[in-house]
Each structure stands twice: as C-alpha cells, then as structure tokens.
C-alpha cells in the first residue's frame, strides 16, 4: 500500500538533472508528477522507516526545495540511497556540508569535521534507516572538487572520514551529439575491460546513448558510465535491464503519462570478469 501522497508539479517548478543543471521538459509538465515520487515509492518498496520521508521535509526546509539530488542505488540484491548537495559557488557556497549536517543533526550523529576552506562544489552522503535511527554514525562524506586542466567538464571525488581524505573517483562529462568519438575513446582506454573481448556497445548501450550528457568515470575497482537526459522509455529499459524490483518498475509503468515530462539520469559501475562485462552497481536519480 502506498504510504505517501503523490506530489504534482506546479507552475513555478524548475527541472534539474542529477548535476542540478536545468533542463526543459520534453512535453508539457503542468499537473504531472515530480521526480521525488520515485524516491518515495522506493521507500515503500524497500520498507524504509518514516524517518526517511521526514528527512526529505527536513532538507527542503533547511536548504530549500529542489536543492537535494537523490540516488537510488542497487548493488546485487542490496539497495540503498545516496543524497547529493551542489553549490557551484565553491568557497562562496551556501549549501555547505556544515549546513547540511546541522539540518540533519537532530537525527544523525556525524563523526566527520567539515573543512569549508576546500573549494568543493558538491558532496554526497549515504543515507538509510540505520543512520536516521542512530544505529550507525555518519562516518563518511564524498567530497567533489574540480579538475583544472581537463579539456572537458570534470570532477574528482575524495572520501572524507575521521582518518582523513582518500581519493575515490574521476569524472569526465561529454555531449554525445558531437563528442561520440571522445566517449568511445574514453570507454576503451581502460584497465577494467579488454576492448577486444567486451564490445563498446555493451557499455555504451545503444538503447541509452541518445541522451543529453554521458559521464565516464574511473573508480578504484571499476569504471562507470552515466547517461543523463534519457526519456521515460529509455528509463524503463534501464530498470528492466538492471532487474530492479518489480514494484519499482510497475510504478513507472502505471504513472507513465504523469512521468513522461521528466528526463531521467542513470548509471552503472562495471568491469570485466571472466571475459564478460560485470555490472557491480547501478543507480537512478532525481531531486527534491
């Protein structure tokens, strides 16, 4: 049974992708569903406590509506959530790690000390029932900084724990409309796959690559690719291909014509195992 009231778009709604870059809906959006409904549906399907719903309200009040990007993540049979917070003003930021931790403080014990002298433009936090119910502390934040010198939009991610900073990932953003050759080269320039055994279409899926932006990432134990600005039909392909729980897929199918104004963002981590492509993790995104 659905535990939440559906949220509908209003005349003042602005639409953002997973980088908080604004986009124009492909069809009229008035009176349709906001992407946060997908997040709240995942709470129901995965059996999250009411505190997860309440945190959405806390963050909207604390840093403003539309400023939190959410991700639903799937690793094998395990699923969870990650929240992302952007402020491209960097050192002049208002949506800081310090501020978000203050908003979350009534529910969350944090063991990390923010350094607001770092010119980060984004950070993310793994969120779950255990965190909000006090079973575990918040002991890690993922901190993203720019990558000066890169010829494309790029970022570098570090994990901040009570032991310090640890390098995690590199990200590179491309426009497939005019940079497909560069995307091909980036995918195949890899220690994680052998291009003679893994066809490029296994990673650069034809069903998904007709999109606004493709991000290629290099991680410690895998590579990753993100497809941003895909249609609802492409989104449904992704959910079925990655074998997301049937109730998550059914919600999108049932609400198809109230979600078709959205452009979706998806991604997956991969590497080669036994000469075959292995998907280690996948996710889809929205904002509230």
Q: What is the pLDDT of residues 244-270, one digit of tens each?
A: 999 999 999 999 999 999 999 999 999
Which DSSP state fits 92?
Answer: G
Residues 6+ apart with CB under 8 A from 55: 104, 107, 127, 132
Residue with tokens 């009176």: 31
| pLDDT of residue 140 exceeding 90 | yes
Residue 269 CA to residue 117 CA, distance in Å, equals 31
Structure tokens at 210: 């007709």
Residue 264, H or E segment: strand 264-273
* Cβ neighbour number for residue 88 with a 10 Å cutoff: 13
Q: Residue 82's beta-bridge partner residues? A: 71, 126
Helices 246-254 + 232-241 axis angle, to 10:
160
The pLDDT tens digits for 71-117 are 999 999 999 999 999 999 999 999 999 999 999 999 999 999 999 99
Residues 6+ apart with CB under 8 A from 45: 245, 247, 248, 251
Percent of the chain with pLDDT over 90: 99
Residue 238 CA to residue 203 CA, distance in Å, equals 12
- pLDDT mean over 61-66: 98
SS3 label, residue 80? strand
Cα 21 versus chain centre, distance: 13
HSE (CB half, 13 Å, CA atoms) of 22?
3
HSE (CB half, 13 Å, CA atoms) of 171?
22
Cα–Cα distances (Å) from 142 to 149, 226, 276, in that order, read 22, 18, 30
Closest CA relative to residue 233, chosen from 19, 26, 18: 26
pLDDT value at residue 1: 81
pLDDT value at residue 128: 97
The residue extents of the domains of the chain are 15-172+231-266
The pLDDT tens digits for 7-56 are 999 999 999 999 999 999 999 999 999 999 999 999 999 999 999 999 99
Structure tokens at 288: 């509230």
The pLDDT tens digits for 151-202 are 999 999 999 999 999 999 999 999 999 999 999 999 999 999 999 999 999 9
pLDDT value at residue 145: 98
Q: What is the 3-state secondary structure (H, E, C) of 149-195?
A: CCCCCEEEEEEEECCEEEEEEEEEEECHHHHHHHHHHHHHCCCCCCC
Question: Mean pLDDT for the chain?
Answer: 97
Structure tokens at 60: 């909207």
């Amino acid at each position: 049974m659905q535990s939440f009231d559906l949220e509908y778009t209003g005349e003042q709604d602005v639409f953002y992708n997973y980088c908080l870059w604004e986009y124009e809906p492909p069809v009229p959006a008035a009176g349709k569903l906001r992407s946060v409904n997908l997040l709240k549906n995942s709470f129901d399907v995965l059996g999250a406590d009411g505190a997860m719903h309440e945190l959405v309200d806390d963050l909207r009040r604390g840093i403003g509506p539309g400023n939190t990007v959410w991700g639903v993540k799937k690793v094998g049979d395990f699923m969870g959530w990650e929240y992302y917070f952007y402020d491209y003003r960097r050192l002049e930021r208002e949506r800081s790690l310090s501020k978000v931790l203050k908003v979350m403080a009534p529910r969350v014990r944090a063991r990390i000390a923010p350094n607001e002298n770092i010119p980060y433009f984004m950070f993310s936090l793994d969120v779950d029932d255990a965190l909000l119910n006090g079973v575990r502390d918040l002991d890690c934040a993922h901190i993203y900084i720019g990558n000066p010198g890169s010829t494309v939009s790029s970022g570098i991610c570090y994990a901040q724990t009570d032991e310090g900073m640890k390098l995690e990932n590199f990200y590179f953003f491309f426009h497939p409309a005019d940079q497909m050759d560069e995307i091909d080269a980036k995918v195949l320039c890899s220690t994680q796959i052998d291009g003679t055994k893994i066809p490029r279409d296994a990673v650069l899926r034809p069903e998904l690559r007709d999109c606004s932006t493709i991000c290629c990432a290099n991680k410690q134990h895998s590579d990753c690719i993100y497809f941003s600005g895909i249609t609802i039909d492409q989104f449904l392909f992704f959910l079925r291909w990655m074998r997301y729980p049937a109730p998550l897929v059914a919600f999108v199918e049932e609400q198809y014509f109230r979600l078709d104004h959205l452009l979706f963002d998806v991604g997956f981590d991969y590497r080669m195992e036994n000469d075959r492509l292995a998907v280690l993790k996948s996710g889809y995104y929205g904002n509230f």
